[in-house]
Structure 1
Amino acid sequence: MKKFMKWLGLAVAGLALLTAAPHVVRADTWSQPVATIGSSLTADQKSGTLSTLQNAAGVNNASQLTVNGATLVKYLNPSGSTFTESSGVWSSALVQKTDNGGINVKIVPYNGTNNITTITADQYRNAALTAGVSNANLYITSAVRIDGSGALAGVYAAFAQNGENLNNQQINAAQQEVNTLSSITQANKDKDGYSDKQLNNAVAGAKQQMASQSNNGQQTLSQNQIGNIVDSQLKQNNLTTIINNNQRQLIINLLVNVQKAGSLKNNDFKAQAGKLADSIQNSAKGLFDKLNKSLNTEENRNFLQKIWDGIVSFFNGIAQWIQSLIK
């Protein structure tokens, strides 16, 4: 009986310790989504922004985080931006952490109008991947026309609020990436055969390929190796004749920075890059089916042309040999 009472006492003590211990919430299972609201919005706009974001995400319990000039200075200035603590912020985001599914971004119209003027949904996704984000739904909106940088700074701040301080070097690389891809899209937006989806699919594919070839960042790829990967992805996305040499070098440079920042070493980077590329292709299936068909036709034509050239060369050789005999 004494032995039983002793074990019972130990069990009760153990149970007391377990119930008294603080509950630890894992970073990948946030208790609630976070809405990052631009500080320059009016009271009505803040209310409208929160409703717009929550309705898009299908939630009504988002915690709120104010994004102001100091947030921009902290997250965006190290990559070359020149914000001040008095800078205005209008674009806003809602961050919903998930267990799987990759990085998904939806730019949500505000009162029926898309006011994000510069950064595209796929550019947000590629930047988030480089910064170290994984498995998250991001909803972006703005009550006024603006480039959308404030929303991206808000995403980084939301992760920090939930105990996931993203690597500063990766955030810097992500911001440089946004600037590069935005400038390339602006320069080519009116060209036939070009779309922002092709460019971002090429970059996501390059990231996946880099992670694979570097053994998840364990080996350092040379600039020439990264250049070959870029060329392969530009070809697959039918951009070889559209992206000029300067833009090609800018893409190589941004991917060199992604490697230097350590993004490839993230355990889930390769898988997230693959999910991103698949999602971009699925979102514009008609476009990429057409590209694949075009590429396959060109490759088949080149293959058949090589065979035909070989046959012609063979018979030309026989003809020349016969002529030499006659002479």
Structure 2
Amino acid sequence: MRGLTKCIAACFAVALMFSFTFSDVVSASTGKNTDSINEKFGLPIVVVGDSLSEAQKEQVREDLGVTNTDNIEEIPVTADDIVKYINGDANSRMYSSAMITREDEGHGLAVQIVTPDNITQVTVDMYKNALLTAGIEDATVEVASPVKVSGHSALTGIYKAYDTADGNLDPERTEVANDELDLATDLAQKEGLDNEKVTQLLTDIKQEIAEQNPATREDVEQIVTDQLSKLEISLSDEDRQLLIDLFDKMRELDINFDGVKSQLDDIATTIQDKIDEVAGNDGFWQSVKDFFKSIGDFFKNLF
């Protein structure tokens, strides 16, 4: 009986250890209550991929924490929209969806992917960077999909929601934001790079643009060169030129990154934390290995 008690205690310890260790990588529904209407900003907008079945749409609503469909505005996202807003393919299938809740000025842009296993290409920080470039601020954006997809349909839907709501979405800024996302996802697939490193590069360049306010293309080129060197990133001449072209477009549009500098700082901090976490994984997994060895020794001593 005493041995059984020790066994149960050990199993509980294992479960408790995993609940703390992996709590940050398990995602659940946001639990947002839509029973109450925000009279200041109006209804949250849920943009739903048009290729979803009715059952899948219901699953998306549940994942996004929709408790009352009367208190949201639901907008379909179609293949025509992906052509209009991000220059996509007219034959695309639209699955990823999003809920946009407007917030008070100064709140900043918060993005959460509530089904992280099913959004395979566009990361939280890629969404943030693209939306800030497009001029979308002070909102909470939640992304979901019932199937594995890249995440571009959700981005299309976010653009459509803002365009439908007030018609103030700047098409030139949206275009350069799309160029940014395309380049980010392309660079993230290059050898020696990953999502975090690419996002860090783009964010650092934006921060330097906000600090230096470059007046010429040559100034932009110098910023890009300095950040590539600082982060020890080696790009082909072609990719380096694409990066310079992208940020020179931003310079010509006179995008005020200084106005969202605090949000860029937040992205940079988050990315650095992720990089530090990855760098420390060897020590982490060694500690896990040691832990289970001690558990194994414990069980051996029971019998």
- TM-score (normalizing by structure 2): 0.70
Counterpart of 2:166 in structure 1: which amino acid?
G
Residues 116-131 of structure 1 correspond to what in structure 2 (within 5 A)? 116-131=119-134
Look up the SS of the partner of 2:64 in the other structure: helix
Q: Using the alignment, how far apart are the partners of 1:89 and 1:134 within structure 2? A: 24
Q: What displacement does 1:137 show?
A: 1.9
Counterpart of 2:49 in structure 1: which amino acid?
G
Change in 2 beyond 3 A, CA 1:210/1:172: same
Residues 99-178 of structure 1 correspond to what in structure 2 (within 5 A)? 99=104, 100-109=106-115, 114-178=117-181
* 1:3-61 CA-partner distances (Å, limit 9, x unpaired): xxxxxxxxxxxxxxxxxxxxxxxxxx522221100011000100110111126xx9974
**Runs of 4+ residues over 4 Å off in structure 1:** 288-291
Q: Using the alignment, how far apart are the partners of 2:138 and 2:127 within structure 1? A: 14
Q: Using the alignment, how far apart are the partners of 2:278 and 2:58 within structure 1? A: 43
Look up the SS of the partner of 2:189 in the other structure: helix
Residue of 222, 230, 234 corresponding to 1:228: 222
Q: What displacement does 1:289 show?
A: 9.6
Q: What displacement does 1:197 show?
A: 2.2
1:239 matched residue in structure 2: 232
1:74 aligns with 2:84: yes
Q: What displacement does 1:288 show?
A: 5.5
- TM-score (normalizing by structure 1): 0.65
2:189 matched residue in structure 1: 186
Q: Using the alignment, how far apart are the partners of 1:228 and 1:185 within structure 2? A: 22
Change in 2 beyond 3 A, CA 1:198/1:104: farther
1:62 aligns with 2:67: no
Q: What displacement does 1:284 show?
A: 4.2
Q: Using the alignment, how far apart are the partners of 2:210 and 2:270 within structure 1? A: 22
* 1:242-293 CA-partner distances (Å, limit 9, x unpaired): 43443222211111122233433xxxx32314422323413542635999xx
2:263 matched residue in structure 1: 275
Give unmatched runs, 5+ long, in structure 2. 1-39, 280-303
* 1:134-159 CA-partner distances (Å, limit 9, x unpaired): 12222112122222111111001111
Count residues in correspondence.
Answer: 238
The sequence identity of aligned pairs, in percent, is 27
The answer on whether the counterparts of 2:200 and 2:268 sit within 8 Å (CA) in structure 1 is: yes
Q: What displacement does 1:225 show?
A: 0.7
Residue of 32, 39, 45 corresponding to 2:43: 32
1:94 matched residue in structure 2: 99
1:206 matched residue in structure 2: 205
Q: What displacement does 1:131 show?
A: 0.7
The answer on whether the counterparts of 2:111 and 2:140 sit within 8 Å (CA) in structure 1 is: yes
Q: What displacement does 1:162 show?
A: 2.1
Change in 2 beyond 3 A, CA 1:89/1:289: closer
Q: Using the alignment, how far apart are the partners of 2:146 and 2:242 within structure 1? A: 32
Residue of 51, 57, 66 corresponding to 2:62: 51
The answer on whether the counterparts of 1:115 and 1:144 sit within 8 Å (CA) in structure 2 is: yes
Residues 258-297 of structure 1 correspond to what in structure 2 (within 5 A)? 258-264=250-256, 269-282=257-270, 284-285=272-273, 287=275
Q: Using the alignment, how far apart are the partners of 2:240 and 2:276 within structure 1? A: 21
Residue of 241, 247, 250 corresponding to 1:249: 241
RMSD: 2.6
Q: Using the alignment, how far apart are the partners of 1:273 and 1:233 within structure 2? A: 17
Q: Using the alignment, how far apart are the partners of 1:271 and 1:33 within structure 2? A: 25
